[in-house]
Amino acid sequence: MSLHDLHMARRTLLASGLAVTAVGAVGIPASAAQRATAAPSISTTSDWEARDPSSSVDVLDSKPNKIIVHHTATPNSDDTSQSHAFALCRSIQNYHMDSNGWLDTGQNFTNSRGGHLMEGRHKSLNALEGGSQHVLGAHAGEQNSVALGIENEGTYTEASVPSALWNALVELCSYMISQYGIDASAIYGHRDYMSTACPGDVLYQRLPELRTEVALATAQSEPVTPAVWPLLTPEARGPRVTAAQLLLRSHGGRVPVNGVFDVDTRRAAQVFLDAHRPHRVECSATRTPERDLFGGTAWTSLAPVLSERATGDAVRAAQAVLTSRGHHASGEDGFGARTVDAVRRFQARQGLPTTGVVDHPTWQRLLG
């Protein structure tokens, strides 16, 4: 649904006299609408009877710049009660403290399938209400210091997202964005940063819609879809897998170049992830490690910045994806004039600076 469609839907709702919780309604100036974005009802850690943290929670004197959406990878419960939601929070906290050895719940906030919003890590709600501080969580590796983490109850690899959960997620994200002045485009999925399936294909594919609804609720202009790295899943096929295989070889990995994310390639990808520790963090709520995926910012370690006169398998990787995107560059031995030309033409088509250098934004679009 486009922003315009949402505006029309909202106008219809208003005309019919139904309550509209999200602000940003037609006719309200943007600045007034942003100030007016209502705080949703969020239960505190004492409401759900959290344990005390095992050591002091870090409260940073800086604002977060993005929101990262997760799913808990727990069962898709039909129990929409608040007591069930509170029990979920206690269960996650126990798991994070006792199994992971963390000082408290990893994520900043939790959202249940019944749409009950709850504080996750202690002090997160206070920080959000103040709008100038951020509680350091444990949910997305290197992003923790700048990213708010929301765990959404359930597993959304195939199941659809309950409307109560969705509406609460829109409300919470809208409030976060208006409190901290974050751009609605800066709502991401966990997989955009780490090698994880989180928040599941179904919820992940709804992130553009989430950005649009939040932009509407906070009177922002239509958000853009951010450039992100692809996630390779078992038996995935195609040029991006061929590129990954050549890149793994350039790092010494012993893998075939057959364009299939097969068992040998997955093993080599895990060796690479294990050697690059910041990328090797499990989803904060997932019970079982996901050791057969490759994605997120691990690509930034795998794919080097390439320019003219570079040689080797990394150059072959870039040439393979360029060729697959219709900019023929294969067959040239090393990064020569033909490859520079292909990179420039690709960059021009993508609206990128035409440097002829395969930098990370160029890699993202080549692999996307």
Q: In the bound complex, what is the minimum distance in angstroms from residue 196's beta carbon to Zn ion?
A: 6
Nearer to Zn ion, 68 or 255 (CB): 68
Q: How far is the CB of 283 from Zn ion (least distance, A)?
A: 4
Q: What is the DSSP letter of 254?
A: -
Closest CA to 121 of 102, 108, 138, 103: 108
Helix (H, G, I), strand (E, B) or coil at 151: strand
For the CB of residue 228, give the shortest distance to Zn ion in the complex, in Å: 15
- Beta carbon of residue 149, minimum distance to Zn ion (angstroms, whole number): 8
- The per-residue DSSP string of 332-360 comes to -SSS-HHHHHHHHHHHHHHT----S-B-H
CB-based contact 168:111 (threshold 8 Å): yes
Q: Which two tokens stand for residue 62?
A: 């800086």
Minimum CB separation of residue 71 from Zn ion in Å reads 7
Nearer to Zn ion, 36 or 136 (CB): 136
Cα(364)–Cα(34) distance, integer angstroms: 33
| Residues comprising the chain, all counted | 368
Binding site for Zn ion (CB under 5 A): 70, 190, 198, 283
In angstroms, give the least distance from the CB of 190 to Zn ion.
Answer: 3
8 Å CB contact between 153 and 74: yes
CB of 195 to Zn ion, least distance (A): 11
Other CB atoms within a 10 A radius of the CB of residue 40 amount to 19
Residue by residue, DSSP assigns 153-195 as: SS-TTTSPPPHHHHHHHHHHHHHHHHHHT--GGGEEEGGGTSS
In angstroms, give the least distance from the CB of 165 to Zn ion: 15
Rank residues 184 and 283 by Cβ distance to Zn ion and give the closer one.
283
Residue 226, preceding peptide bond in cis (omega within 30° of 0): no
Question: Between 125 and 283, whose beta carbon lies closer to Zn ion?
Answer: 283
Q: How far is the CB of 99 from Zn ion (least distance, A)?
A: 16
75 burial via Cβ count (<10 Å: 0-12, 13-18, 19+): exposed
- In the complex, the smallest distance separating the C-beta of residue 231 from Zn ion, rounded to whole angstroms, is 12
State residue 350 phi and psi, 5-degree precision: -90, -5
Residue with smaller CB distance to Zn ion, 214 or 283: 283
By beta-carbon proximity to Zn ion, the closer residue of 10 and 206 is 206
Nearer to Zn ion, 47 or 290 (CB): 290
Residue 295's SS3 state is coil
Nearer to Zn ion, 70 or 96 (CB): 70
R_g of the chain computed on alpha carbons:
22
In Å, what is the CA distance from 310 to each residue of 156, 319, 333, 340? Answer: 42, 12, 10, 11
**CB of 48 closer than 8 Å to CB of 118:** yes
CB-nearer residue toward Zn ion: 192 or 313? 192
Query: Closer to Zn ion at the Cβ: 92 or 241?
Result: 92
